[in-house]
């Protein structure tokens, strides 16, 4: 898993696995945001599987999927709220990290 640090408060990555959550927590991430729709690719872990692992470790999880329809103003607002409410750094992920990067850019999140 490659993590791209955008700011002190926000990083992005490609698809993570449930087994990655512990390492992400150990690296200081307090919140994980999934920007992938479930079933986008065959065999990808579901948002629920990642959430279950996050819940068991005390990491906050949000599912904010970005589909082919693109990024709405509501999604940008919700991402801003998630970052503002997080007690520590946020990791957003999608297939490659690109959509998560664009969402972060649109949000102007620190």
The pair of three-digit structure tokens given for residue 48, joined into one six-digit string: 């629920």
- Are residues 100 and 12 in contact, defined by beta-carbon separation less than 8 angstroms? yes
Q: 18 exposed, middle or buried (CB, 10 Å; 0-12, 13-18, 19+)?
A: middle
- Residue 69 confidence (pLDDT): 85
pLDDT tens readout for residues 22-53: 999 999 999 999 999 998 999 999 999 999 99
Regions in the chain scoring below 50 on pLDDT: none
Domain residue extents for the chain: 3-107
Distance from C-alpha of 104 to C-alpha of 99, rounded to nearest angstrom: 9
Rg from Cα positions in the chain? 12
- Residue 28 confidence (pLDDT): 98
CA geometry: angle 45, 48, 51, nearest 5 deg: 100
Other beta carbons less than 10 A from residue 69's beta carbon: 6
CATH entry 1.10.3720.10 includes domain 3-107: no
Distance from C-alpha of 79 to C-alpha of 57, rounded to nearest angstrom: 22
Enter the pTM of the model: 0.95
């Amino acid at each position: 898993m490659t993590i791209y640090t955008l700011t002190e408060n926000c990083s992005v990555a490609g698809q993570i696995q449930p087994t990655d959550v512990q390492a992400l927590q150990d690296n200081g991430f307090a919140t994980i945001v999934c920007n992938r729709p479930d079933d986008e690719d065959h065999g990808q872990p579901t948002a629920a599987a990642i959430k279950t692992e996050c819940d068991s470790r005390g990491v906050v999880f949000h599912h904010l999927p970005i589909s082919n329809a693109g990024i709405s103003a509501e999604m940008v607002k919700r991402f801003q709220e998630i970052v503002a409410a997080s007690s520590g750094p946020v990791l957003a992920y999608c297939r490659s990290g690109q959509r998560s990067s664009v969402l972060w850019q649109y949000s102007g999140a620190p």
